[in-house]
C-alpha cells in the first residue's frame, strides 16, 4: 500500500505538487491521471525517495521508502524508459541492479523472459527501440519481485500487442495481491486496465474514485430508448431529476437519470412496448476533459472547448 500524506513540492516559483494526499490499495490496479505537467512524475519520484517533498511524507507499507532494507523487493518502479546506460546490454543493466540487493541470476533470466527480451539480452541497450527500452524498464521494475509496482506511462512506445501484454501483466500483478500504480495522461489507456483512479491537475487532487464512479459522477447515465409509443413512454418516465430528450427520430428517447432496468420495468407496468434499451455512457475521455479542464497546465491560453466538450458542458 502506498500512503501519500499532504506532500508539497516546489521548484523555484513553480508548485509541482500541492498538498496532495491519497492512498493506493493493494490488489487493484490504480491509475494515476492528469494532464501533462500536472505533477504525476514528480509524485512518483517522491514515492521512491528520489525527490524529497518540501512538506508531507510518503509511506510504503507504513515505512518510508528509504527505510526499507530491501527496496527493490518492496517497490519496483519504472520512472522513465531511458534510465539505462546505452553502452550496457539488457542483461548487464539488470545484473548491476540485481547485485545491489543480492537478487540471484536466475531471476534476471526470469524477468528477461517475462518481458520477451531474452533473445536480445546481450545486445547494447542503446540499439533498442522505444518499445524494447520500455520492456527493459518494466523488467527492471519487476526484478525484485516487489510488493508495489509503480510504472510511469508504461504504455508509451508499446505496440498494440505490447499494450495487451502489459494489461494482462498488470491485472495478474494486482490479482497476486500487489499494489499496482500506473500513470498516464490518457484516460482511455488507463480505463482499460485500472479499477481505481487518482486524478490530479496542477499538483492537486481532483478525484480519487473508481472508474465506474467517475463515469457516473462526471456524466450521469444516459439510456437510449426506442419505442413505437415513445411519446406515451416519455410521459410515464417523466419525474424529478429525469431528463428526456427527443431527436429527429420520433421513436427514440434519450433518458438521463434512470437506469435501463427501471425504464424497462416502468414501460412493462404501463404496458408500453420497448424495442431497444441501450445504456450509452458519456465517454471517460469527455469526463476526464471536463474534470481537468480548469487545470490544464500547458494548454493554449484561451482554449476553445472542443465540440464534444461543449456538448457535455451544456448538458
Partner 1 sequence: MTITDIDPRPSAEPRTGLRAPSDVASLRVTLPRVIASEWVKFTSLRSSWITLVSAVAILIGFGSLAAAVSAGDVATRGGQGGGGPAAFGIDPTTLSLAGSGLAGIVLGILGVIAVTSEYSSGMIRATLAAVPGRQSVLLAKGLVIGAVALVVSVPATLIAFLAGQAILGQGANVSLGDPGVARAVFGTGVYLAAVALLGLALGALLRHATGAVGALFVVLLLAPGLLGLVLPQSWEDTLLPYLPSNAASSFTSVVPPDGMLSAGAGAAVLVVWIVGLLGAAAVLLQRRDA
Where on the phi/psi map is residue 256: left (φ > 0), alpha (ψ -120 to 50), or beta?
beta
Angstrom distance (rounded) from CA 44 to CA 48: 7
Q: Does 291 bind partner 1 (CB under 8 A)?
A: no
Q: Contact 118/112 with Cβ under 8 angstroms?
A: yes
298, with CB counted inside 10 A (0-12, 13-18, 19+), is exposed
Q: Does 97 bind partner 1 (CB under 8 A)?
A: yes
Secondary structure E strands in 215-273: 222-226, 243-246, 252-256
Binding residue for partner 1 (CB under 8 A) from 31, 35, 39, 71? 71
Minimum Å gap between C-beta 85 and partner 1 is 4
Q: Which is nearer to partner 1, 81 or 197 (CB)?
A: 81
Q: Does 10 bind partner 1 (CB under 8 A)?
A: no
Cell digits of residue 168: 494482462
Q: Which is nearer to partner 1, 71 or 201 (CB)?
A: 71
Helix (H) or strand (E) holding 255: strand 252-256
Q: Which is nearer to partner 1, 72 or 187 (CB)?
A: 72
Minimum Å gap between C-beta 51 and partner 1 is 4
Q: Does 48 bind partner 1 (CB under 8 A)?
A: yes
240, with CB counted inside 10 A (0-12, 13-18, 19+), is exposed
Closest among 92, 149, 172 to 126, alpha carbons compared: 92
Angstrom distance (rounded) from CA 5 to CA 126: 38
Minimum Å gap between C-beta 47 and partner 1 is 10
Binding residue for partner 1 (CB under 8 A) from 102, 160, 304, 307? 102
Q: Contact 23/4 with Cβ under 8 angstroms?
A: yes
Minimum Å gap between C-beta 81 and partner 1 is 9
Angstrom distance (rounded) from CA 169 to CA 302: 41
Q: Which stretch binds partner 1 (CB under 8 A): 19-27, 70-78, 193-201, 227-235?
A: 70-78
Angstrom distance (rounded) from CA 277 to CA 23: 38
First and final CA of the chain: distance in angstroms?
Answer: 39
Minimum Å gap between C-beta 65 and partner 1 is 6
Q: Does 140 bind partner 1 (CB under 8 A)?
A: yes
- What string marks each residue from 199 to 228 as x (binds partner 1 by CB under 8 A) or -? ------------------------------
Minimum Å gap between C-beta 102 and partner 1 is 6
Q: Which stretch binds partner 1 (CB under 8 A): 69-77, 204-212, 219-227, 303-311?
A: 69-77
Minimum Å gap between C-beta 119 and partner 1 is 19
Binding residue for partner 1 (CB under 8 A) from 36, 63, 85, 188? 85
Residue corresponding to grid cell 430508448: 225
Residue corresponding to grid cell 501484454: 165
What does the binding site for partner 1 look like in residue numbers (CB under 8 A)?
45, 48-52, 65-66, 68-73, 75, 77, 79-80, 82-89, 92-93, 95-97, 99-103, 107, 110, 140, 144-145
Amino acid at each position: 500500500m502506498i500512503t501519500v500524506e499532504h506532500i508539497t513540492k516546489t521548484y523555484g516559483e513553480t508548485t509541482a505538487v500541492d498538498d496532495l494526499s491519497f492512498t493506493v490499495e493493494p490488489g487493484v490496479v490504480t491509475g494515476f491521471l492528469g494532464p501533462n505537467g500536472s505533477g504525476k512524475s514528480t509524485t512518483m519520484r517522491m514515492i521512491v525517495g528520489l525527490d524529497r517533498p518540501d512538506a508531507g511524507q510518503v509511506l510504503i507499507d507504513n515505512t518510508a521508502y528509504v527505510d526499507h532494507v530491501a527496496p527493490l523487493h518492496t517497490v519496483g518502479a519504472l520512472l522513465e524508459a531511458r534510465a539505462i546506460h546505452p553502452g550496457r546490454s539488457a542483461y548487464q543493466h539488470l545484473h548491476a541492479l540485481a547485485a545491489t540487493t543480492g537478487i540471484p541470476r536466475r531471476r534476471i533470466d526470469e524477468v528477461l523472459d517475462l518481458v520477451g527480451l531474452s533473445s536480445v539480452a546481450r545486445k547494447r541497450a542503446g540499439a533498442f527501440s522505444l518499445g524494447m527500452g520500455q520492456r527493459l524498464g518494466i523488467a527492471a521494475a519487476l526484478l525484485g519481485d516487489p510488493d508495489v509496482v509503480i510504472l510511469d506511462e508504461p504504455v508509451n512506445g508499446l505496440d498494440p500487442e505490447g499494450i495487451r501484454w502489459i494489461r494482462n501483466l498488470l491485472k495478474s500483478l494486482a490479482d497476486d495481491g500487489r499494489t499496482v500504480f500506473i500513470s498516464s495522461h490518457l484516460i482511455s489507456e488507463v480505463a482499460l486496465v485500472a479499477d481505481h483512479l487518482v486524478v490530479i491537475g496542477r499538483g492537486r487532487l481532483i478525484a480519487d474514485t473508481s472508474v465506474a464512479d467517475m463515469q457516473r459522477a462526471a456524466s450521469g447515465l444516459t439510456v437510449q430508448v426506442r419505442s413505437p409509443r415513445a411519446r406515451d413512454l416519455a410521459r410515464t418516465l417523466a419525474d424529478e431529476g429525469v431528463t428526456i430528450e427527443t431527436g429527429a427520430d420520433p421513436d427514440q428517447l434519450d433518458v438521463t437519470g434512470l437506469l435501463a432496468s427501471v425504464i424497462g420495468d416502468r414501460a412493462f407496468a404501463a404496458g408500453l412496448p420497448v424495442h431497444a434499451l441501450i445504456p450509452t455512457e458519456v465517454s471517460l475521455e469527455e469526463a476526464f476533459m471536463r474534470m481537468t479542464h480548469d487545470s490544464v497546465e500547458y494548454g493554449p491560453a484561451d482554449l476553445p472547448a472542443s465540440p464534444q466538450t461543449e456538448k457535455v458542458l451544456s448538458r
